[in-house]
Amino acid sequence: MVKVSIIMPVYNASELLEESIESAMKQTLKDIEIVCVDDGSTDNSVELLKELSKKYDCIKIFTQENEGSGSARNHGLDEATGEYIAFLDADDIFVDGNALETLYDYGVKNNADLVCGNLKRLSFDTGEIIDNPNYKAENYYYFDSPKTITPAEYGVPWAFYKNIFKRSFLNEHNIRFKDLRRGQDPVFLSEVLAKVDKVYGCPVDLYAYRFESGKPYAKINTPEKKLHYILHFKGCFDALEEGGLYETSEIFKQKLMYFLDYGTEFDDIVMYDSAMEAFGWPTTYFDNFKYEYEAFLVHHMMNKINIENSEEFYSKAKQMLIDMKVWHNELIPADTLRNLILFFNTESYEEYKERYHEFLIEDAKIQNVLLAEENEKLTEQAEELQDINNQLFNSRSWKYTKGLRKSEK
């Protein structure tokens, strides 16, 4: 009997694939199958899988056209025969050798639909297993002993791969990965958390995921992926709130605001279009983040007016801004407010466009004045610090302790 089916989506993973599969084969649990679904690789991943399958007969290979990792995992779920399901990406590894066996035994003992382990990171540069900062940030629960928690205690719906899932439970509730190029796994886990009564966990490190430091959104690099990433938040909110996990949903909405701030920092107009497609305005999704969401929309809307270059969008934007009552939003920065004043003091897009160039020049002057004032403050602070240093070095106590400082050396 297959106790655990390990689902592995594979796409151009030949460099790390063997390491990943070897980590699964080192598990003490031997009643496993590794269901590999190649997602249209253009390298020699399939050939490597075939070679590995000669060494390990528990490897099953399936292929499909390139449809994304979510589709590949769904394909694997449909082919799996194990009592429980685990997931392993082709560039990640299992950590503790007894993790799968420990989680499986605990799951069977408690007839659990969801059993959680803990999670490590895998340095992108060195391959070293390192601590996962999400625990320190309290993004999700750390299991320091075998225990049961509520779905609400799990935390934000991240790190699905550190858990195993009863296959009959997934099939009963028709839980599968959404057709998204980014973010499909938090939606999957949100649906699981919304349906389970209890969450079981053990103090084992099941999984380590490869992470490139300093580049949290590096893979969200196309308009489609940006749209899908924002849509995944909506899918999570819907699933969590349908399951009564309102507090978790609100915490996760803060994560969306961080992502929208990231788009604002780079004036990414695609983010505006994606947010409007996913949530629109007005919306009831962000009652507790009304001003944050609207400040994001206003920032990009003012940029989009010039991009659209049309009277139609000018009029549409003006009505939206009136309805938003933007003057009551304290999160809108000063430079955007100055632009809004100009905007509302024009009667047409042509007038606004003509005066906008003057605005840019004037705004640049204001920014230069602000920078000069900031530099002046920094200079004053530096002078004050220098005065304090001089007073210290010339003080009697500094002179009297000169011999002591030398003896310490």
Distances in whole angstroms, Cα of residue 372 to Cα of each of 220, 366, 376: 37, 10, 6
pLDDT of residue 366: 62
Q: Lowest-confidence range among 132-136, 206-210, 391-395? A: 391-395
The Cα–Cα gap between 333 and 298 comes to 10
**% of the chain beyond a pLDDT of 90:** 80
Which residues lie below 8 Å from residue 308, measured CB to CB, with a gap of 6+? 314
Q: Lowest-confidence range among 81-95, 259-273, 328-342, 354-368? A: 354-368
Q: Domains plus CATH for the chain?
A: 4-220 (3.90.550.10), 228-367 (no CATH)
CB neighbours (10 Å) of residue 392?
10
Q: Is 329 exposed, middle or buried (0-12, 13-18, 19+ CB in 10 A)?
A: middle
Per residue in 55-112, pLDDT tens?
A: 999 999 999 999 999 999 999 999 999 999 999 999 999 999 999 999 999 999 999 9
Residue the block writes with tokens 């509730």: 173
Q: Residue 140: which pLDDT band, with cuts at 50, 70 and 90?
A: very high
28, 34, 25, 79: which is closest to 58 by C-alpha? 34
pLDDT of residue 76: 98
pLDDT of residue 312: 96
pLDDT, mean of residues 121-142? 93
The pTM (predicted TM-score) of the whole model is: 0.86
The secondary structure element, H or E, covering residue 204 is strand 199-211
The Cα–Cα gap between 116 and 161 comes to 9
pLDDT of residue 256: 97
Grouping H, G, I as helix, E, B as strand and the rest as coil, residue 396 is helix
Per residue in 42-65, pLDDT tens?
A: 999 999 999 999 999 999 999 999
Q: Lowest-confidence range among 139-153, 219-233, 306-320, 362-376? A: 362-376
pLDDT value at 3 more than 70 = yes
Structure tokens at 244: 């009564």
Q: By the 8 A CB rule, do 363 and 335 touch?
A: yes
pLDDT of residue 379: 72
Per residue in 160-174, pLDDT tens?
A: 999 999 999 999 999
| Terminal-to-terminal C-alpha distance of the chain | 70
The secondary structure element, H or E, covering residue 86 is strand 84-87
pLDDT value at 195 more than 60 = yes
Residue type, 287: D
Phi, psi dihedrals of residue 219, rounded to the nearest 5°: -85, -5
Cis omega (within 30 of 0) on the bond before 146? no
26, 191, 201: which is closest to 117 by C-alpha? 201
pLDDT, mean of residues 238-250? 98
CB neighbours (10 Å) of residue 263?
22
pLDDT value at 214 more than 90 = no
175, 209, 172: which is closest to 192 by C-alpha? 175
**Backbone dihedral region of 199: left (phi > 0), alpha (psi from -120 to 50 degrees) or beta?**
beta
